[in-house]
Amino acid sequence: MNAASLFDQNAIGNFWFRYLHVLAGVAWIGLLYYFNFVQVPGLAAYGDEGKARNITITQIATRALWWFRWAAIATLATGILITAVVPDYMQDFMNHAGDDPTNAKNAAISVGMILGITMAANVWMVIWKNQKVVIANATNVLNGGEANPDAATAGRRAMLASRQNMIFSVSMLFFMVGAAHYYPEAMFAATPGEANTFVIISVVLGALFQLNALGKFGGIKAGNKALVPYESHKNAIITSVGLWIVLFVLSIIIMGA
């Protein structure tokens, strides 16, 4: 083996950047699950312990959010680098005529990528934007200032987006991994039209969920029945599995050989 091939363009793109992509993704999704399974329910259990809650926000949540948002950027950046560095990567995403497992593979990774990009956008454009208001309020109150009446609304917007990311994460991870280890198999052989149909339906379903989490279907206040999937981490877990089942079954129906 030529030692130079260990770090040639193909190795850098197909392994080294992919390794960093997975490593950053573990940090990002791990913190996403920490927020949803541990921190949010834990802070809710504080009850009237306002000072303790604010200390937790300023000392724990602030640090976790730093790693969370930059892990999201690192995951997104390394993913983009893979597509840019791997030789003929985008050419491989060209449609293959007739029934071809490559079309199913391309559709799967496309859905995973779209969900991942949406999740990263949620981190920076919704979650972090609103959490800055929550953190500033907690800091101000601890220093003896008046509470910001907008902090509760900001916190709820951030929570809804975080729960939406949790819901997306199950399907995102499945299609990311499935693109290499499941959909290229003989059981899937889609035409270009079938592959595109699956991607379009997946994008429409994802967009409906995203708009719902942003409060476009009745607002963000508690009591809106459209927000039931986000009102507890248990509901979000059930919804995440439900969305994955729907997308998986659709992939079988549309792209199954």
pLDDT value of residue 141: 95
pLDDT value of residue 101: 76
Q: Could you tell me which residues come within 8 angstroms of residue 165 by beta carbon, excluding any fewer than 6 positions away?
A: 32, 119, 122, 123, 127
Taking the domains of the chain in order of start, what are their residue ranges?
A: 3-255
Is this model's pTM higher than 0.85 or not? yes
Tens digit of pLDDT for each residue in 155-175? 999 999 999 999 999 999 999
pLDDT value of residue 2: 63
pLDDT value of residue 216: 97
| Burial class of residue 7, CB neighbours in 10 A (0-12, 13-18, 19+) | exposed
Question: What are the structure tokens assigned to 87, written together?
Answer: 């030789």
Taking 50 as the pLDDT cut, the residues of the chain under it are none
pLDDT value of residue 97: 65
pLDDT value of residue 186: 67
CA geometry: angle 75, 92, 82, nearest 5 deg? 20
Transcribe 188-231 into DSSP letters: B-B-HHHHHHHHHHHHHHHHHHHHHHTTTTT-SSTT-GGGGGGS
